[in-house]
Amino acid sequence: MINYYLDTNIILRFLLLDNLQQAKKVRHIFHQARKGLIEIYIPYLAFFEAVFMLTNLYKFKKKEISEKITKLINLPFLQIEKRELLLKTLQFYPKINVSFVDLTFFLEAENLDKTLLTFDRKLKKLII
């Protein structure tokens, strides 16, 4: 069985459908994974880059980014590193004025029962 480790570009082609030839390949690979013929692993760092690209290059709003990526992460045939952490981050991301990465830092520290130490003023407001 083939095990794929996905790059951010695969995520972007799937979400944006801006290159139809590549998007078609991604959908074919996902279909194979859905059938159990291959395995797909997506590292959580790929989502950091995807959010950055969607925000800065494609000018998507936080809510739209959150909705699109949440749908992708919820696909049960994908192996997503730190799936629950990402889903929690995406839940709060549109509502809080901090970056996706900073919010993930905060929530991961919280999950580990740690207090995040930071000089970031926006992030400090989350820490009680």
Fold of 2-126: Rossmann fold (3.40.50)
Has residue 128 got a pLDDT over 60?
no
Q: What is the pLDDT of residues 35-81, one digit of tens each?
A: 999 999 999 999 999 999 999 999 999 999 999 999 999 999 999 99
Backbone angles phi, psi at 114, to 5 degrees: -120, 160
CB 125 within 8 A of CB 106: no
d(CA 29, CA 21): 13
* Predicted local confidence at residue 126, as pLDDT: 81
* Predicted local confidence at residue 124, as pLDDT: 81
pTM over 0.85, yes/no: yes
